[in-house]
Amino acid sequence: MWLLWPRGQERASLSAGGSVRVVAVSPDGVLIAAAGEDKVIRVWDAGATTTKFALEGHAGKVFGLAFSPDSKTLCSCGDDRTVRLWDAATGTPGAVITASDATVECVAFAPDGKTLASAGSDHIVRLWTVPDGKPIRTLKGHTRRIHALVFADSKTLASAGEDGGVRLWNWPTGALIGQLPVEKHRVHALTVSADGKVLAAAATGGPRWWTLADKSERPKVTSAGGTRAVAFDRDGKFLATGHEDGAVKLWSALDGAEVKTLTGHRGAVFGVGFTPDGKTLVSAGSDGTVKLWDVPVK
């Protein structure tokens, strides 16, 4: 049985300007960052309701955010075809990478924090050094726009988008090592469990997840279409999803049973994430808010 205490209630709502396309929580749990259509990246101290920084520099919509594993660097990307690095403690801008001649939709740090991946509308995954942004290699194989990236471990990178599946790469060598089918659905986001064993995708037809060791798909969760965001908590208890109808759902990461539906957003939810202690779920969406929720405990 699940004892819903706290009862999955909204604890705070932060104003984030225009429609928010992405939200990120620093691995140390100190900072929350969000960005979207107004080109500005807003950063809050976790638990605060006033903005710590408003980072300006992008000339178009911001689609992707990622903190480095040590929480010292924030990376952003967007419609202006750039990838930008920022000092997470001070907001000082760092390297600006002209990633391609196309929109950059997603970024992710490798576990060691020394490599950065980016991808977008040109169908190519690019790898860069951190902090100087020098190119390492490109990974080619996608045939349509890429929306999501996540490093599963020190050798495996997952990418997905509009071409009906998740691709797995040995990123140090650039070799394609597997594909996970998602039929004809788009994948908007990817996440991996803290132990690196389970990969989950936010697909238009609903959440999907796989055991990476043998690439087998786990039993599908209860039908929940229009999924735009997905995240695991660090302890492996919950999978959170954000949906086009404004709902945020919590699922048991053990068997896929629905635990709670959180309502409060007045538009599509494009980003979700957990604080490291697992007590707070963060969500963001087209209504221009970042919401903090108390997470049910087992």
What's the pLDDT tens digit per position in 112-137? 999 999 999 999 999 999 999 999 99
Structural domains in the chain, CATH included, are 13-294 (2.130.10.10)
| pTM for the predicted model, two decimal places | 0.94
Q: What is the pLDDT of residue 219?
A: 84
Q: What is the pLDDT of residue 242?
A: 97
Q: What is the pLDDT of residue 4?
A: 36
Least confident of 22-26, 70-74, 183-187, 191-195: 183-187
DSSP result, the chain: ----SS-S-EEEEEE-SS-EEEEEE-TTSSEEEEEETTS-EEEEETT-SS-SEEE---SS-EEEEEE-TTSSEEEEEETTSEEEEEETTT--EEEEEE--SS-EEEEEE-TTSSEEEEEETTSEEEEEETTT--EEEEEE---S-EEEEEE-SSSEEEEEESSSEEEEEETTTTEEEEEEE-TT--EEEEEE-TTS-EEEEEETTEEEEEETTTTEEPPPPSP---EEEEEE-TTSSEEEEEETTS-EEEEETTT--EEEEE---SS-EEEEEE-TTSSEEEEEETTSEEEEEEPP--
pLDDT at 8 exceeding the cut of 70: no
